[in-house]
Amino acid sequence: MTNARLAFVFPGQGSQQIGMLADAAAEFPEIHTTFSEASDVLGYDLWDLCQNGEQADINLTERTQPLLLTASVALYRAWCARGGVHPARMAGHSLGEWSALVCAGTLAFTDAVHLVQERGRLMQKAVPAGEGAMAAVIGLDDTAVESACAEAAEDEVVAAVNYNSPGQVVIAGSSAAVSRAIEACKTAGAKRAMLLPVSAPFHTELMRPAAEKLAAQIESTEFHAPEIPVIHNVHARPESAPAAIKVLMVEQIYSPVRWTECVQAMVADGTGQLVECGPGKVLAGLAKRIDRSLTCHNIDTPDQFNTALLATAE
């Protein structure tokens, strides 16, 4: 059964925490099963890493990406196993778009684990450590942020890369250019502009080499038309043709995440309830800032999971 007002959204990097999903795993066997599948692909124990490792270990991009994909898919499998209604549409923030595609039936989970591990490795290698940076800008409209980046570039790369919600934009690029853009944003009236603990400038032109290297692996992977529409980061629209989806997933690596537009598109299409399918509450918080009419749920603990099951049932 599908709830026409329900959308599922899947988080990206930054939502990982040591000990995440421990309570959920005690109640939902799908968590351990899904993590075991991923571990077989990765060649190491992913569950042990996220429960007993160090935060620095799971913050390594090539580990963060398969970890968050696995966590989201595990929760969605638990949702379906308990009779949770199907959403009418899905979206994922950056890496989370891969989680959405798996849950929508576009590609096999194990194929996605391999691809996002490689995606993380290539994205980290694309720019030497210390040469790239990302920063969050709070309290400045999109146009002003874009103007500040253009002013600060000086033949280097710096651009708005995550349009997260009105008044919250992430910029990225060469370290020196990002530093100049931070000052330009503050001068333009930003409430805050601060570096993020991320070592690579994701979603900029500096990531194009990584995208080009991943393209061949994406092309050789079997994709299907999604069973549930997925709103894509690149243009905030759904796509049904597998070949077109593959192109978008390559472009996504070096293109801005138009998250505000993605949520607005889902609301325009009838979404009134939103479930964040993954650890943390980042996307639920952003959604409420984008459209206060949305009712948002998180499902990363058993209590929240069961509350959302009841609240979304039609």
**Same domain, yes or no: 212 and 240:** yes
- pLDDT, residue 198, reads 76
Query: Last residue of some domain: 199, 232, 257?
Result: 199
pLDDT at 195 over 70: yes
Ranges 73-77, 99-103, 198-202, 284-288: which has the least confidence: 198-202
203 belongs to the catalytic site: yes
Q: What is the mean pLDDT of residues 251-280?
A: 97
pLDDT of residue 70 exceeding 70: yes
Same domain, 88 and 160: no
Q: Are residues 292 and 270 in the same domain?
A: yes
Residue 69: is its pLDDT beyond 70?
Answer: yes
CATH at 166 = 3.30.70.250
Length of the chain as a residue count = 314
Beta partners for residue 194, in sequence order: 136
Task: Find the catalytic residue in 72, 94, 165, 174.
Answer: 94
Q: What is the mean pLDDT of residues 81-90?
A: 96
Measured in degrees and rounded to the nearest 5, phi and psi for residue 159 equal -155, 160
Beta bridge partners of 173: 133, 158
pLDDT on residue 314: 67
Q: Is the pLDDT of residue 204 over 80?
A: yes
Please identify, among 153, 175, 199, the residue that sits at the C-terminal boundary of a domain: 199
Q: pTM for the whole thing?
A: 0.95
Q: Lowest-confidence range among 50-59, 195-204, 231-240, 256-265?
A: 195-204
Q: Are 65 and 119 in contact (CB under 8 A)?
A: yes
* Residue 17 shares a structural domain with residue 111: yes
Let me know whether 212 and 101 are in one domain: yes
Say how many domains are in the chain.
2
113 and 138 together in one domain: no
Q: What is the pLDDT of residues 11-36, one digit of tens each?
A: 998 888 999 999 999 999 999 999 99
Q: What is the pLDDT of residues 113-154, one digit of tens each?
A: 999 999 999 998 998 878 899 999 999 999 999 999 999 999
pLDDT of 93 above 80: yes
One of 72, 99, 203, 255 is an active-site residue; which one? 203
- The reply to whether 191 and 210 lie within a common domain is no
Tell whether 80 and 229 lie within a shared domain: yes
The verdict on 167 and 213 lying in the same domain is no
* Whether residue 254 sits in one domain with residue 276: yes
- pLDDT mean across residues, the chain: 95
**Residues 279, 232 share a domain:** yes
Q: Using the 3D structure, point to which of 165, 180, 199 is the last residue of a domain.
A: 199
Instruction: Read off the CATH number of the domain in which 44 is found.
Output: 3.40.366.10
The C-alpha atoms of residue 162 and residue 255 are separated, in whole angstroms, by: 9
Q: Is the pLDDT of residue 217 over 70?
A: yes
Residues 144 and 182 reside in one and the same domain: yes
Pairwise CA distance, residues 182 & 148, whole Å: 8
Backbone angles phi and psi of 260, in degrees to 5: -55, -45
Tokens of 124: 């980290």
Alpha-carbon distance 174 to 268, whole Å?
A: 36
Report how far Cα 97 is from the mean position of its chain's Cα atoms: 6
Q: Which residue range forms the structural domain that includes residue 152?
A: 132-199
Active site residue 94: yes
Q: What is the pLDDT of residues 166-186, one digit of tens each?
A: 999 999 999 999 999 999 999
Please say if the pLDDT value at position 158 is more than 70: yes
